[in-house]
Amino acid sequence: MIEELGTTEQGDLVINIGPQHPSTHGVLHLVVTLSGETIKNVEPHLGYIHRSIEKMCESLTYRQFIYVTSRMDYLSSHINNHGCALCVEKGMQIEVPPRAQVIRVLMDELTRLASHQLWWGAMAMDLGALTPFFHAFREREAINEIMEETCGARLTMNYMVPGGVMFDLHPNFQNKVKDFIQLFKSKIDEYDEMVTNNIIFQSRMKNIGVLSREDAISYGCSGPTARASGVNCDIRKLYPYDVYASTKFDEVLEWKGDCFARYMVRLGEMRQSLSIIEQLIDNIPEGDFQAKTKAVLKLPKGEFYSRVETARGEFGVYIISEGATTPYRIKFRSPGFSNLSALNHMAKGHKIGDMIAIMGTLDLVIPDIDR
């Protein structure tokens, strides 16, 4: 996995980390310049999973391109689809029925929970504790089963359509989600006990990879990475979409900007997601699950930008349309891309083990970065 690329003139060692990783980051190739054990420079080499999605979408219709984004950040696939659907609805001025809005938000929050669970397990595994990974997946199975019943798939749930959702909820959905909420409330306290309060974890994460507030803004970081440095950037609060405006939840902020702060933000977000689901699960309005739209959608000439808060940060969909059935140009603003650009800044001066911890807390999903 690591082979030496050579030495620089100053006698520093240049090594590769990746592109294969033992944990679920994805194919990220880092070229690290080390002086002894201390990192002097980290250079990401991207493109191992570049599938030219933006170019592909130029030949897909507005109904088709939504599902390609599931494969970008596959852990927040619902949320990505949601962003695309919102953009198309903005362009076509489609009004989404209330039932569909609530269903979308429920699915979003379940996806966010599942993504954070996997992040937690993978991050603990990176630091050397192999057991939490299994515990995280055990809880994630419950969410996967709920998704499978309603949407038909466990990871890339192609469930959103412009105007609402594709099918109605399965009759078991409410009960299963309620059971899951009860189960997870006790488990998240276990997560705290197992990992958060463990002194070894804390000493491996505190004061490592500090990202100041100005740097977070300058590097364009969003999501938990930026919120751990004190930046208010929760899209669900700033530019609410669907029913987020009427749901009560807190934006989790920390101020230190180190690995532990990012960790605490994500744990806090898990609890907030749970509370959102609890609020909504009993109050799903009756009605249509999909607005009536034409079979073939044609966005009017112009450009439209919509943004959603995925588990990693701000996902932006920027559609430039010329009035045809396919978009002229789509740009996906992926959160991981900007978060990754801060890695070099954060890892300088630390050791390799620390860089693994930083990468773990940045929660990178490489297909999201490479598109």
Partner 1 sequence: MFSLEGITASLHNWLNSRFGPTPALVVEMVIVAVLAISLFAVLGLVLVFMERKVSAYMQIRLGPNRVGPAGLLQTAADTLKLAVKEGLTPNGADKLLFNLAPFLVIVVSMLILAPIAFAKNFQIWDLNIGVLYISAISSLSVVGILMAGWASNNKYSLLGAMRSGAQIVSYELSAGLSILTIIVFSGSLQLSDIIASQQDGWWIFKGHIPAIIAFVIFIIAVTAETNRAPFDLAEAESELTAGFHTEYSGMRFALFFLAEYVNIFIVCGIGATLFLGGWMPLHIGHWEGFNHVMDYIPSSLWFMGKTFFLIFVIMWFRWTFPRLRIDQLLNLEWKYLLPISMVNLLLATIIAITGFHF
Partner 2 sequence: MNKLKCRQKNNELPGAELKMTNEELKQCMLELLPDAAFEEGGEWLVVTPDATQWKRFALQLREFSTLHFDYLFCLSCIDWKTHFTMVYHFTSTKFRHTLVVKIKLDRTNPVIDTVCDIWRTAEFHEREVYDLFGVQFTHHPDLRRLFMTDDWKGWPLRKDYEDPVNMIKL
Interface positions with partner 1 (CB under 8 A): 1-2, 4, 21-23, 37, 124-131, 133-135, 138, 194, 198, 200-201, 203-204, 351-354, 356
Q: How far is the CB of 186 from partner 2 (least distance, A)?
A: 11
172 binds, among partner 2, partner 1, none (CB under 5 to 8 A by kind): none
Distance (Å) of CA 292 to CA 165, 279, 295, 303:
11, 28, 9, 23
Supply φ then ψ for residue 228, to 5 degrees: -70, -20
Distance of CA 55 to the CA centre of its chain: 22
Does residue number 211 form part of the binding site for partner 2 (CB under 8 A)? no
Does residue number 324 form part of the binding site for partner 2 (CB under 8 A)? no
**In 101-138, which positions are buried (b, 16+ CB within 10 angstroms) versus exposed (e)?**
bbbbbbbbbbbbbbbbbbbbbbbbbbbebeebbebbee
Does residue number 217 form part of the binding site for partner 2 (CB under 8 A)? yes
Does residue number 193 form part of the binding site for partner 2 (CB under 8 A)? yes
13, 14, 27, 46: residue in contact with partner 2 (rule CB under 8 A): 46
Size of the site for partner 2 (CB under 8 A): 50
Asked whether the beta carbons of 8 and 33 are under 8 A apart, the reply is yes
Distance (Å) of CA 76 to CA 68, 109, 261, 317:
13, 10, 22, 15
337 binds, among partner 2, partner 1, none (CB under 5 to 8 A by kind): partner 2
At 244, list the tokens. Answer: 């987020």
197 binds, among partner 1, partner 2, none (CB under 5 to 8 A by kind): partner 2
176 binds, among partner 1, partner 2, none (CB under 5 to 8 A by kind): none
Q: How far is the CB of 316 from partner 2 (least distance, A)?
A: 6
DSSP E strands: which ranges in 13-104? 13-17, 29-35, 38-45
Does residue number 206 form part of the binding site for partner 2 (CB under 8 A)? no
Angle between helix 98-127 and 352-362 (nearest 10): 170
179 binds, among partner 1, partner 2, none (CB under 5 to 8 A by kind): none
> Is the torsion defined by CA of 216, 221, 225, 228 positive or negative?
positive
Rounded distance between C-alpha atoms, residue 63 and residue 162, angstroms = 7
133 versus 219: smaller Cβ distance to partner 2: 219
132 versus 224: smaller Cβ distance to partner 1: 132
Q: How far is the CB of 38 from partner 1 (least distance, A)?
A: 11
At 298, list the tokens. Answer: 């044609």
The site string for partner 2 over 53-92 (x = CB under 8 A, - otherwise) reads -xx---x---------------------------------
| Torsion region of 223: left, alpha or beta (phi above 0 gives left; psi -120 to 50 gives alpha) | left
Rounded distance between C-alpha atoms, residue 277 and residue 270, angstroms = 11
Does residue number 333 form part of the binding site for partner 2 (CB under 8 A)? yes
User: Of 91, 181, 106, nearest to 142 (Cα)?
Assistant: 181
305 binds, among partner 2, partner 1, none (CB under 5 to 8 A by kind): partner 2
Helix, strand or coil for residue 246?
Answer: helix
Does residue number 278 form part of the binding site for partner 2 (CB under 8 A)? no
Q: How far is the CB of 129 from partner 1 (least distance, A)?
A: 4
Site for partner 2 in 298-317 (CB under 8 A): 302-303, 305, 314, 316
